[in-house]
Amino acid sequence: MLHKGRAFLTSLGITIGIASVVMVVSIGSGAQSLITNQITSLGTNLISVLPGGRFDDGPPVAMMGITVTTLKLEDAEAINDPVNVPNVIAACAYVKGAVTVNAGGEAVDSFANGVSYTYTDVESAVISDGRFFTEQEQNGIEKVVVLGATVAEEVFNGVDPIGQTVKINREPFTVIGVLEKRGAVAFQDRDDQVFIPVTVAQKIIFGLDYINLIRVKIDSGDNLERAKSDIEATIRARHDIRDPKDDDFMAESIATLVGMFTAITGVLKFFLTAIAAISLVIGGVGIMNIMLVAVTERTREIGLRKALGAQKRRILEQFLFEAIVVTLLGGAAGIIIGVAVSALVALAVRSLGYDWSFAISGTAIFIAFSVSCAVGVVFGYYPAKKAANLNPIEALRHE
């Protein structure tokens, strides 16, 4: 039999490869399911307008982390006009960025959403205390703020925040409301945010003349396509675009964005799995090397067995069996480690308040075992064949 220490070290490559594949499939599926469910929970009658087009029918430019400045606040206001989009309930502009919120010496890092006064209508957000800001406050660039539930708790420690002053990036704001707890969407804690008029965010906090996003709520999911066409026509008219190929924006329903995200994560999972598979190849080469060493060390044993009448097939089967056993043991260890790590990740994410689903595909485990066996056969065949073809006389002379 093989030397135990060598066999263990050699099977590590197989273990790491199989564990990586199991983790990529499990964690990737969990993340995909989580974000898809969270985005869908925003509503089926929403249309998102993103700045910039897309890469050759691929993902939107804005979703690739590239800053695009083509959307303006006036675009959102035009979409919010029923004359332009008859099926609109409300349209909300967004400007987002990281900020520091300070009140009475309590400073916390947070995320500022510069939004339109229509935010609560579009996002179905509920005010737990106070109120949301008005159109007049938005147009007047008044420094008022609505706090997310987490920010209110961290900054004011149970004290009623309404009417209090907080500083956002050193600018004083008056707290006029607090939102109810809403949890996270797409790994962003919506309770750990502050909401200020979009005009204030543009002119005072971030110094921008553009917006990052427009989200539009339509009266019915059945009217999405009609509303999408009206939105596109409205922005094209404002941007003086005559050919749709020249669009400097993109309007998509939530369902379409979910499909895009699923496609992107699918490609990512494929490449991560391919990278993990490299460990299997490396492990396979290690199996082949250790089997060749074993053949060399056991040359006299092989010669003796053949001299006593052992057939080539039996010698080949023995060494092939040993190679398969090593890879299967490594594969089994990899599956156990992969499942355990995936379960720990699921528990950790759930502890943060996310509804993460832990799922291990039986098909994935079957494939992992099959791949382990295949690696043993493919990389163990050459050493086994070499052992089977040894000349018994020369083998017995081997020192």
Question: Over its length of 399 residues, how does the chain's per-residue pLDDT go in tens digits?
Answer: 455 666 677 777 788 888 888 888 888 777 777 777 766 666 678 999 999 866 555 555 655 556 778 999 999 999 999 999 999 999 999 999 999 999 877 788 899 999 999 999 998 889 999 999 999 999 999 999 999 999 999 898 888 999 999 999 999 999 999 999 887 665 567 889 999 999 999 999 999 999 999 999 999 878 888 999 999 999 999 999 999 888 899 898 877 767 777 777 777 778 777 777 777 777 777 777 777 777 777 777 767 777 777 777 787 788 788 878 888 888 888 889 988 998 898 888 888 767 777 777 777 777 777 877 787 788 777 777 777 776 666 656 655
Q: 62 and 68 in contact (C-beta within 8 Å)?
A: yes
Beta strand pairing call for 193-197 and 106-115:
parallel
In a domain, 227, yes or no: yes
Indicate whether 139 and 227 sit together in one domain: yes
pLDDT at site 331: 84
Question: Is residue 279 located within the same domain as residue 240?
Answer: no
Domain end among 247, 282, 310: 247
Whether the predicted model's global pTM rises above the 0.85 cut: no
- pLDDT at residue 327 in the model: 82
Indicate the DSSP class of residue 371.
Answer: H
* pLDDT on residue 372: 75
Residues 145 and 181 in one domain: yes
Tell me whether residue 57 is in a domain. no
Beta carbons of 82 and 88 less than 8 angstroms apart? yes
Q: What range defines the domain where residue 165 resides?
A: 71-247
Contact 52, 260 (CB under 8 A): no
User: Domain total for the chain?
Assistant: 2
CA-to-CA distance for 354 and 43, rounded, in angstroms?
18
What is the pLDDT at residue 42? 64
Residues 208 and 105 in one domain: yes
At 295 the pLDDT is 72
Quick one: pLDDT at residue 186? 56
Angle at Cα 139 formed by Cα 134 and Cα 141, nearest 5°? 95
* Spatial distance between the Cα atoms of 359 and 28, rounded to a whole number of angstroms: 10
Q: What single-letter amino acid sits at 361?
A: S
With a CB cutoff of 8 Å and minimum separation 6, the contacts of 128 are: 149, 178, 179, 180
**CA distances for 39 relative to 191, 239, 254, 257, 329, angstroms:** 16, 29, 7, 9, 41
Q: Which amino acid is at 146?
A: V
Scanning the chain, the segments in alpha helix (DSSP H) are: 4-41, 73-79, 119-123, 135-139, 149-156, 198-200, 224-239, 254-297, 299-307, 312-351, 362-388, 392-397
